Amino acid sequence: MAHRARVLKAEQATRLFVLFAVLTDVAMATLAFVLAYLLRASIPLPDPVQGVATIGAYVPMTLIHVVSLVAVFFFANLYSLQRASRVDELSGILVGSTIGTLMGIAVDSLILRNFVVGQDYSRVMVLYAWLLSMIFVALGRLANDWLRRRLVSRGWGHRRVLIVGVGDIARMILQRVLWTPELGYDAVGVVQMRARTLDELLGVPVVGSAEELSSIIDAREVDEVIIALPEETSHNDLMWLISQCERGRVMIRVYPDLFQIMAGAVSISEMGGLPMLTVRDVALSGWRRVAKRLVDVVGASAGLVLLSPVMVLISALIKLESPGPAFYVQERMGLDARPFPIIKFRSMRPDAEKQGPGWTTEDDPRRTRIGSFLRKTNLDELPQFINVVLGSMSLVGPRPERPIYVEQFRRSIPRYMERHREKAGVTGWAQVNGYRGDTSIIERTKYDLWYCENWSLLLDVKILLRTVVQVFKSPNAY
């Protein structure tokens, strides 16, 4: 009974969050329409304002506008609490507001104007309403999201989660659960695939083995199971685990393997009557390559101009602290595994590699004081805008590695070299998801391959925005 009551409470919290999102959208869309009317009534452009009807005449159009926006948002899944990111949500609002406004105009033209009201509404005011709706709804969503995250971090709508696995993947997922309270998870235990050999993982108790999964779900009152097992796990094992979870009627999530990540946008085709999965070609081509290059040149050139005072200051500080050049040039592997000289601000002593190349670690004693700051804030990467303008790098892409490490990784990581089918990036999908510095190369490669397969200009914008946020909010490089 206690479990059922807690589940109902979590469901009620979810419904409350969704209801508040709908009410926020309604309020903001209505406010946008009212403000649009006031703007049209006060600005004599493009024609005098004498022809604008009273605000009461616009009530039907306001209702149609608001209902259309909410309906489009609903069918666009903008009231789901499992959205990928704020950038995706904002882009959805832009598209949804546009479609909703067009629907409102269509309903007005076909129904209201001919059969109900007979009022010819101001087209300029509708344009104002469209623009203001995007802005106001986006601001309302940001405020709504901020409030929801605060409430969830204080216990509203929490779900009890059980992790299956004790390896690196399970540790990574458990860290995200423990360190991100706004996700709304309470980790109640960890389950090993075979006989239990550990007592805990990151402070969370290991509560048994997979053979006991069904009973553990009942005993621990689990709401969600995350299967976090290595890629070597067979499909038969996964299906058996899922069948055990279904007995407990819980939500099931499975961390994907390399093929599942690569196949994020597969299509089903046939070959002589045989079903086949077609995975898109990885490499960018045609207009996509031209568009990405155009964004690179414009963005990197603007970055060099705007950040030039900062770069001059950093260069001076590096020279004042230690002898040697301000810039550091190193050979890295880029597009088609061709080497190129990458440019960075020097963050280590000039003799840092007298014993040979070494992987950078946290609190590396070879770093200078200004170098430590540059690495933590990623400012040592700023000179790579020069690489982008010259064409050897892109603003976004897989981070380039040194040839000596590429040779090691290509022998031990499947499909590692496929990440070299795209230009190396100043930042990347793996980096904004926490895989920077001394982190798992296997997991980093998965994110790089997913990026190559699912590239879009919107995805690049999302990665660039998250990179800027992380510089000021949560630096994780060293």
Q: 417 or 47, which is more confident?
A: 417
Predicted confidence band of residue 106 (pLDDT cuts 50, 70, 90): confident
| 29-48 average pLDDT score | 78
Architecture category of domain 159-255 in CATH: 3-Layer(aba) Sandwich (3.40)
Count of residues in the chain: 478
pLDDT at 11 over 60: yes
Q: 53 or 179, which is more confident?
A: 179
pLDDT at 280 over 60: no
pLDDT at 242 over 90: no
pLDDT attached to residue 269: 52
Q: Which range among 22-26, 42-46, 59-63, 340-344 shows the weakest confidence by mean pLDDT? A: 42-46
pLDDT attached to residue 385: 93
Q: Which range among 2-11, 252-261, 316-325 shows the weakest confidence by mean pLDDT? A: 2-11
Predicted confidence band of residue 50 (pLDDT cuts 50, 70, 90): low
| 404-412 average pLDDT score | 84
pLDDT at 477 over 50: no
pLDDT attached to residue 249: 67
How far is CA 137 from its chain centroid? 21
pLDDT attached to residue 111: 60
pLDDT at 15 over 90: no
| 265-277 average pLDDT score | 51
pLDDT attached to residue 53: 63
Whether the link from the prior residue into 46 is cis, omega within 30° of 0, is: yes
pLDDT attached to residue 214: 82
Give the chain's largest Cα–Cα span: 85
pLDDT attached to residue 281: 47
pLDDT at 57 over 80: no
Q: Which range among 316-325, 358-367, 404-413 shows the weakest confidence by mean pLDDT? A: 358-367
| Contact yes or no for 71/102 (Cβ under 8 A) | no
pLDDT attached to residue 322: 81
pLDDT attached to residue 122: 67
Predicted confidence band of residue 476 (pLDDT cuts 50, 70, 90): very low
Mean pLDDT over the full length of the chain: 77
| 285-314 average pLDDT score | 87
pLDDT attached to residue 377: 80
Of the spans 167-176, 191-200, 392-401, which averages the highest pLDDT?
392-401
pLDDT at 384 over 90: yes
pTM reported for the whole predicted model: 0.58
Q: What is the pLDDT of residues 108-123, one digit of tens each?
A: 666 655 554 445 556 7
Q: 164 or 436, which is more confident?
A: 164
pLDDT at 233 over 60: yes
Q: What is the pLDDT of residues 196-228, one digit of tens each?
A: 777 888 888 888 888 888 888 888 888 888 888
| 72-88 average pLDDT score | 71
| Contact yes or no for 101/123 (Cβ under 8 A) | no
| 155-173 average pLDDT score | 81
Pick from 447, 460, 448: which is nearest to 255 by CA? Answer: 447
pLDDT attached to residue 475: 46
Domains of the chain, by residue range, sit at: 2-153, 159-255, 286-473
